[in-house]
Amino acid sequence: MELEILSTAAQIAVALAGFAGVVVVFRRESVHEWSPIDKFRLRLLLSNSVFPLAYSLFAMLLLTMKPPPESIWRWCSGFAAVCQIPFAVTSIKRARALSPAAFKDVSKIVFYPLFALAGAVLVLQFYNLAVLNWFWPFFAGIFVHLIGAMTQFVRFVLLLPARDER
């Protein structure tokens, strides 16, 4: 059952990464001409699409071992945590580098709750690594990344491009 869930998550992640390409194509200007906040949102969309794909593929690789390792979900949570920490650090740095005008309240309403949820899931990854060895905490990491990617995609589709306010 886990293999089917991971396969579905990987397919969703690939679709969301493809949507990023659609977003780029339908903009008038090239990515290099985008405002810093739009570049940040694109980076979040791509990262939140690539990480679930990588997590799912790593877990599928371990599931193909015969027999699968007894501590498979610990390994997967460890892998997810090792990936999530640098992503969180760079996301915070990039968000702090944005001007206050670029990082408006609307962005804060979306960014901070998702970041808090991601922080809670990171703690859950460590708990799963140390204690649980269950599938659902590992999958929670995939889930949060996919929610983040979907949120950024919807924002790109519904919101007008931000003006360059550096």
- Which burial class, exposed, middle or buried, applies to 25 when counting CB atoms under 10 A from its CB (0-12, 13-18, 19+)? exposed
- Pick from 92, 93, 148, 90: which is nearest to 118 by CA? 148
Q: pLDDT tens across 30-46, in order?
A: 888 888 888 888 999 99
Query: CB of 56 within 8 A of CB of 7?
Result: yes
**Cβ(121)–Cβ(142) under 8 Å?**
no
* Global pTM value: 0.91
pLDDT digits (tens, 9 = 90+) for 118-160: 999 999 999 999 999 999 999 999 999 999 999 999 888 887 7
